[in-house]
Structure 1
Amino acid sequence: MSRNTVKTGVSVALAATTLLGLAACSDPGASAAGSGTPASSSSSSGVKTFNLSPQQDRVKATVDKAAAALVPDAIKKDGKLTVAVSPFAAPLAVYATDNKTPVGNEVDIAVALAESLGLEAEIVPTAWADWPLGVDSGKYEAVLSNVTVTEERKLKFDFASYRDDKLGFYAAAGSAITKVETAPDVAGKRVIVGSGTNQESILLRWDEENKKNGLKPVEFQYYDDDSASQLALASGRADLTFGPNATAAFKAASDAKTKLVGLVDGGWPLKASIAAATKKDNGFAVAAAAGLNHLIQDGTYARILDRWGLSAEAVKKSEVNPAGLPKK
């Protein structure tokens, strides 16, 4: 998970994994099981049920020969692509109901990317903090784990982008609030945000702008427990939550108790990219971007994001080493 948004992301992720009874850690591999089980379904109440079983029946990808030809020999010699994921935040990656198989958007993208390059994905669960050393040492050939591109990280790793880094404003489903796009939209609002996070920094800047323009200040609310923050929102003691969109979107779709009212770039006012991280200068990032663009062009990519509720974070094109967030 991007460390620019990790504090609120962790609390939401832990709540999701607790709710789903997901735990334990093991290396499950990454072969897709063709069970015919749908990725998700919606009820009349608007609640979306996601398929978190080991049997995923993933969207299949076709090989792009031109992209496959770009894969360095050192990587393709064994026919496998070793990809690290951090299975602790739905819908990005979590353990399935068997408590050992990683499932989620990042896993699906990794499997499809490998297939587009004529390789078999070998998914390796890892703690988020451990991926840099794993890539540097050659243990992982790629990492798909909600990693935000930064200029500092680009000094040590190469990247191929596959999602926009988005933060989301969410209100209670019955709230009269329908739109949050700019600073005036949060004036006088009671907003739950993670302390010390990138989203708090953005909200502080918006609040300062509002106060300079004579608008009401934001009432900042902080909760260590996600259940408490959700209760505050549901009871009307808070107006909005502001945090990583992916996990909040999953929760909103899963219980229909909240609604998305605004998206903000994770690096506001700069755009931030989520990307596959690879070893610096080994050539694989170019192949990865080519494979991802094949998935984008043939519609596989869009179907994967849709099945996990992440269409709002789709990119039109994968880029090698896109502009990263500046050093702080």
Structure 2
Amino acid sequence: MAKRSADESGSYSRFLSGECCNRLGPEVLEMIAQTTEYLSVLNDIKTSGENREEIISKIFKNFGKYSSVGRNFTCQCGKHISIGEKTIVNDNCTMMDENYIHIGNNVLIAPNVQFYTASHPIDYRERFVENWDESSGELFFRTSALPITVEDNVWIGGGSIILGGITIGFGSVVGAGSVVTKSIPAGCVAAGNPCRIIRRLEPGYKLRKIEGKDIPELQALFRNTVLIVNSKDYTQEEVEDWASCGDSIEHWKELLSVHNYVAALDQEGHIIGFSSMNTEGYLHSMFVHKDWQHKGVASMLLSEVEKMALGYGVHKISAEVSITARPFFEKHGYKMVKEQKAKANRLYLTNYVMKKELNY
């Protein structure tokens, strides 16, 4: 029995990592059963507003202030769903959360929108279990699931369908009736079946290639970002050591010769963030000015360097990501490969090797 419990627990972890599985452990079955009970109360027209709020707090992993969920809401597990602040989920929404669904702040989801994290093998011989044994405790079919991320300030039109592994970028709009089969970058209007980008929205900042003359501005932004933004996850000694890595102009020149850097500029032409990609698919940098955090700058930069990778014929990206940046990259479909101690200048700091396979 102990071994079966361990197998079931391992199966759940593998399933959340995107692997194909055909077993539901007791933890998952209990979660589904409990959520089904909660949903029956949530969707009862006799349930008061106060009781709905209490039930919502039990269903979701996180549920932000001033957010709301309409009638006839359906989900699978509930605890895999995170919803930010001031987000509206309208009536008849379906969130099949076999994997995680992250909904950001200020998101509008129209009626009849469906989110499906799960999928099945295309080949029926892989989809169904040959010589299935009813007494095995396993399902007769195989399922995989990938997370879905909807970033801040997104509007999803009525009747749209969002599939697993998709990220809808900051500030984008998805037209009614769309079937989103590939990720949508930040700042876009997209629609159709399959959903395609119709036009780009003006983000309030622009992107351009970084040149050698930009090094002093890069140095200042890098240093201030590390000392201020990353200080919440690292000690003062660690951030000071890390920030000192940018002191050498020659080091910056070497980086610019190996990696292709892109900068985000405000309306006055000041650099407010930068990122980079090399021809092997290694994402070396992602830094955004402290005053431009959570405004879609990093999402826009990430979308741009991922397009660079595709232009190089690369579909797998790797990065070494700080503790601070890890949640951002996870929301954009990057998976942690390992935790490590990497040398900054003198000190070794914790970061994570993360990878992503591009699907657009």
Structure-2-length-normalised TM-score:
0.24
Q: Considering only CA atoms, is the larger Rg found in Structure 1 or Structure 2? A: 2
> Greater relative contact order (Cα 8 A, min sep 6): structure 1 or 2?
1
